Every structure is written in structure tokens, then in C-alpha cells.
Amino acid sequence: MADQAGGKPFLQFSNVKKTYDHKTLVVKDFNLEVAQGEFITLLGPSGSGKTTCLMMLAGFEDVTSGEILINGRSVTSIAPYQRNIGMVFQQYALFPHMTLRENLAYPLKIRKQPKEQIRAKVEEYLALVELQDFGGRYPGQLSGGQRQRVALARALIFAPDIVLMDEPLGALDKKLREQMQFEIKRLHEQLGFTVIYVTHDQTEALTMSDRIAVFENGIVQQCAPPDVLYERPANLFVADFIGESNKLKGVIETVGSDTVGVRLEDGSKVDTLKANCTEVGLPTMVSVRPEKLTFTDRLGSAGNQVKARFITRHYVGEYIRYHFETADGTELVVKNLNDSSAPQLSAKDEVALAWLPQDSQALDRPAVSAAP
């Protein structure tokens, strides 16, 4: 995505690679273009390369090859303090011996801003994070959420070009984490700063991001808006990592313009959208989300159908999870709203489950990249 003003990306990773031992690449040919004001999340399991990319952008890790540009200027070889980047960490990184006002004033003092300007800016940002009555307190006198709000204000107060956030909410409990997600989005929308956010929490990424880059083994498997990523995963890794997915084994039997026909292991044929598996004769997995899978009486004769035996159900509050098993042992999960439509089933009841072709895809594992 390019910056609308100049037609060029505000931030660009171009063919960036990283190795620590000159043998194994932990980041393999990373390319990403970010528009000014975008909220981009780097998402992936531990060791997938997402934090390494963040550290290279910050200047805390060297780039093995490739280039990083901010606003058209290469920052690959310049010192971290010259990059005008703000950072928010999981552990807050506040000075414990300084009050909140002193913590917020610090980045302005080292930039030699006038005292009156510093004083006004500190009060402005304390109010921005709704801590205007806490300026004289020390970090140890605050809750975890309050400390993270101070850390966020300190990262923003000197007007950085980009704000980097490395698992900033990882130390918070679930309720506070959700509150801080909305707090960060509120500030992002209000101030319009550019964010590169690192997390392994899929829900957090889907909730907060304009786009998400999904990493595995140093490679971006897919970079897309949250709804595209969830509804149209590029391969089985993305489908499994983002949310939950039912998978039915089969072989590609027919290929159309937008869909493929798949012969499942139980002999039934289903139609599904094309993805990264489109050749007749290739083995594939038909991926369908649990909330898209339903009971045949709700779809009538439309859509795909498979027979399955009811195993158990789990009450989750707002919805109920139904677990089924097909004749070949494949487990299927159906999510049904906890309302009057929730069916009552007994153990070993055989039912027909259904879904629409546009709610599934024929997927394969991502190709493995060549060695460095």
C-alpha cells in the first residue's frame, strides 16, 4: 500500500534478510510496504521472525541484506536514535525513580525542547491517556494498565514517524488487555501515527489491525486486511493459525473458473473456492470455519454435505461447540449460537452437516523456500 500523498510507501522493507550464523535465515526475503497512518501487525508463532523484523526496523539488529526505507530515506545503516521511532514494550520500560511527568518529559528533554513546551506537552499527553490526576505518582504506584498507558504516551510524545509495539499487552489479564486494545486504537485513530505491532495473539491482531502479515519460519505467508485473512486464507498454515478451521481430506477432481470440485475420502464430492491447490489429481484439504458449518435442514438442498456422528458438545456461553466425527475419523466442529436454534443431540446420532461452496477453500501447505 502506498502513501497517498506522494505515491510511494511511507515505510518499505525491500528484500530484507537476516541470519545470525551465516547459515540459516531467520528472516527470508521480507517485503512490505506501509502507508503513513496504517496499523500493521506482524503475527506468527514464537521464532517465526516477526520480532526480528521489528528489531531491524528499530535499528537494534543489523540487516544482513536488503534495505529498509522510511519516507523514502534508507535507515538501514543509521543509528537507532536517528530514526525517530517510538517503542512500546511488554515490560513498560518506565524509569521507576521518576514521576509520570518526569517519565514523559524525558524524551523531550534529550531532544532539547524548551521547558515551557515540555511542560505543556506533558500535561497534554497525561490528559490524552486519561491520567491527568496521576502526574506526581511513580510507576510503582500504578496498575499494569495505567503503566502501559504511560509507556504509550511516552512513545508518542515526541511525534515519532513510526511507533513500534512488541507484545505490549502480554503482561495484562484478559479484561485489561481488551480495554487496552481499544485504548491503543482510540489513540491511533485520534493522532494518526503509523504502527508496526508484533503479537502472537490472533484475536488481538484481528481486532486492531488495518492489515496483518502472517509469519512462519521467516516467511510472510499472507499479508491482508483481517477479514480477507480470515475468510480467504492463502494456505493451510494461515487457515490453522488465524482462528479455527475444519479440514476434510480429498483430491481435486474438477477445476472451474473460481471453484474446484473435490472428491472427499468418504466418496462424496463437494465444490469449494480455489486457493493454492488447483490442479486435477492433487491431494488437498477443504477448509471450512466452524461457524460456517451447519445442519442440512438450514440449507435445504443447497451447498455441500457430509455425514457425521455426534460426539459431544461444549457450552461456551454465547455459543455452543458441537463435536462430530466422520466415517474416516475426521473431527468436525460446529459453532452454534446459544439460542432457540441450538439442536438437542444424543451420543452417536448421525447427522448431515452442510456448508456453502463460497464458505470453504481447497488448500495445501505453503511451499518451503529454498535454502539461503
- Say if residue 208 is in the same domain as residue 288: no
* 269 and 195 share one domain: no
Question: What's residue 175's pLDDT?
Answer: 86
Q: Domain ends where: 179, 203, 231?
A: 231
Residues 301 and 330 in one domain: yes
Residue 356 has pLDDT above 70, yes or no: yes
* Domain termination residue (choose one: 175, 205, 231): 231
pLDDT for the residue 367: 60
Res. 372: pLDDT tops 50: no
pLDDT in tens, 115-126: 999 999 999 999
Same domain, 262 and 223: no
The answer to whether residues 299 and 254 belong to one domain is: yes
Query: Which grid cell sits at 112?
Result: 532539547
Report the alpha-carbon distance of residue 149 to residue 131 in Å, rounded. 8
Helix (H, G, I), strand (E, B) or coil at 85: strand
Which pLDDT band, with edges at 50, 70 and 90, does 4 fall under?
Answer: very low
pLDDT at 344: 85
- Mean per-residue pLDDT, 208-230: 94
pLDDT over 90 at 260, yes or no: yes
Q: Is the pLDDT of residue 203 over 80?
A: yes
3-state helix, strand, coil in the chain (%, to 5): 25, 35, 40
Same domain? For 59 and 115 the reply is yes
Distances (CA, A) of 258 to 269, 282, 329: 17, 17, 30
For residue 369, being part of any structural domain is answered with: no
User: In percent, how much of the chain has pLDDT > 70?
Assistant: 95
Asked if 42 contacts 223 with a C-beta cutoff of 8 angstroms, the reply is: no
pLDDT value for 60: 94
Question: From CA 8, how far away is CA 120, in angstroms rounded?
Answer: 35
> pLDDT band at residue 26, thresholds of 50, 70 and 90?
very high
Measured CA to CA in angstroms, residue 342 lies from 120, 300, 321, 331 at distances of 57, 17, 10, 20
For residues 261 and 344, which has the higher predicted lDDT (pLDDT)?
261
Residue 205 has pLDDT above 50, yes or no: yes
Predicted pLDDT at 266: 87
Determine the pLDDT at residue 104.
96
State the pLDDT confidence band at 128, using cuts at 50, 70 and 90.
Answer: very high
Name the 3-class secondary structure at 272. strand
- Total count of domains within the chain: 2
| Residue 350 falls inside a structural domain | yes
One domain, residues 265 and 213: no
Residue 51 lies in a domain: yes
Query: How many other CB atoms are found less than 10 A from the CB of residue 297?
Result: 10
Q: Where are the alpha helices (DSSP H) in the chain?
A: 50-58, 100-109, 115-128, 144-156, 174-191, 202-208, 226-231, 236-241
Q: Are 45 and 165 found together in one domain?
A: yes
pLDDT at 252: 96
Residue 158 has pLDDT above 50, yes or no: yes
Q: How far is CA 299 from CA 305, 334, 354, 355, in A?
A: 10, 15, 7, 8
- Whether residue 201 has pLDDT greater than 50: yes
Tell me, yes or no, whether 5 lies in a domain. no
Within 13 Å of residue 219, how many CA atoms lie on the same side as its CB?
A: 13
In CATH, what number is assigned to the domain containing residue 337? 2.40.50.100
Residue given cell 492433487 in the structure block: 282
Compute the residue count for the chain.
372
Task: Report the C-alpha dihedral over residues 221, 227, 231, 236, rounded to 10 degrees.
Answer: 20
Q: What is the mean pLDDT of the chain?
A: 91
Q: Are residues 107 and 203 in the same domain?
A: yes
Q: Are residues 132 and 277 in the same domain?
A: no
DSSP for 242-259, please give it. SS--EEEEEEEEEE-SSE
> Could you list the residue range(s) of the whole structural domain that residue 101 is in?
11-231
